[in-house]
Structure 1
Amino acid sequence: MHLILFIGIPGSGKSTFYFQHFFHTHMRVNLDMLRTRNRENRLLEFCFQTQMPLVVDNTNVQLEERKKYIDAAKQHKFKVSGYYFESSLQASLERNAKRTGKQQVSEKGLKAKYYQLQIPEKTEGFDELFYVRVQDNFTFDISPWKDEV
């Protein structure tokens, strides 16, 4: 089975990408929606036990955040794909400003995630890794990962 891990700051297009590409095939695990780690853990375990493909649609900007999902997926013999959402701070701030209600992240919180961002590496345990860039019309450019030389 398959676990997809999204990596990117708020406003980089992760949730929109999920709805465009994985809504009909993968369960969405999202802490904003579930609101507690307990609920998130229970849904993860359900997906692992039932061999349900899933997308973890959180920011996952730090290595330690990603490690728990990757380790659990590997333990359950899931393939792990990472999608890194490249976005400038300014572009993410502009997209975030268009959000309303609870979907909008504070500017301080968004900037904090930006400065915490650790670029993923295949050596973390990913079977495959991709770059995702949002285009002006909310389409996405997806390209294979190229390790830094």
Structure 2
Amino acid sequence: MEIVLFIGLQGSGKSSFYRERFAATHVHVSKDLWPNARKREARQRRLIAEALAQGRSVVVDNTHPLLAERAPLIAIGREKGARVVGYAFESDLETCLARNAGRVGRARVPDKALYITRRKLQWPSYAEGFDVLFHVRVDPRGGFHVREWREGDESERLRSPDA
């Protein structure tokens, strides 16, 4: 049983990655699924805790740019005895903006949301309590390249230009 946290900009491929790699095995929890709900954070935590209590693995598919946003979710995982896994999605802002522009309806977020997330983005570290971390890059020809995260992966190609 595990809790998987996705970390990356809107449009970086997180939901596609979920569908490709986890849809058959993990409960999908995302605040995007209830855009108008009040107390979305509390609802998310409740759904995660319920799934883990039932012995079901969970993917939390949100941007999670800040350590402070990830910490309570990691704590829930620890409390429920789950393995804590993180996937950091390489985030080329221009590509994410282009993918976002192709979205329709509520799936499309204002461009300024991507700029805000990019500015806030703090890349993960094992020190946060992850059991394992992965670096994900979208392959322009389709699919994903995944490798284990190495401390220092928050290098120039991953860091925000505003950092």
**TM-score interval w.r.t. the shorter chain?**
over 0.9
Contact kept in structure 2, 1:8 and 1:14, CA below 8 Å: yes
Runs (5+) with no aligned partner, structure 2: 154-163
Aligned partner of residue 94 in structure 2, secondary structure: helix
Runs (5+) with no aligned partner, structure 1: none
What's 2:27 paired with?
Answer: 27
Task: Pick from 43, 47, 50 the counterpart of residue 43 of structure 1.
Answer: 47
Report the Cα offset of residue 75 of structure 1.
Answer: 1.1
What's 1:4 paired with?
Answer: 4
Task: Pick from 79, 85, 88 the counterpart of residue 84 of structure 1.
Answer: 88
Report the Cα offset of residue 147 of structure 1.
Answer: 1.1
Q: Deviations over 1:64-86 (max 9, x none)?
A: 00101001101111001100000
Aligned partner of residue 110 in structure 1, secondary structure: helix
Contact kept in structure 1, 2:49 and 2:80, CA below 8 Å: no
What's 1:13 paired with?
Answer: 13
What's 2:79 paired with?
Answer: 75
1:37 and 1:117 map into 2 onto residues whose CA distance is 19
Q: How many residues align?
A: 149
Report the Cα offset of residue 135 of structure 1.
Answer: 1.2
1:38 and 1:103 map into 2 onto residues whose CA distance is 22
Report the Cα offset of residue 46 of structure 1.
Answer: 1.0
Which runs of structure 2 are paired with 1:39-118 in the superposition (5 Å)? 39-118=43-122
RMSD: 1.3
Where has structure 1 moved over 6 Å in runs of 4 or more?
none
Q: Deviations over 1:22-51 (max 9, x none)?
A: 000000010010342232222112112101
What's 1:144 paired with?
Answer: 148
Aligned partner of residue 46 in structure 2, secondary structure: helix
2:42 and 2:123 map into 1 onto residues whose CA distance is 27
TM-score (norm 1): 0.96
Report the Cα offset of residue 138 of structure 1.
Answer: 3.4
Percent sequence identity is 40
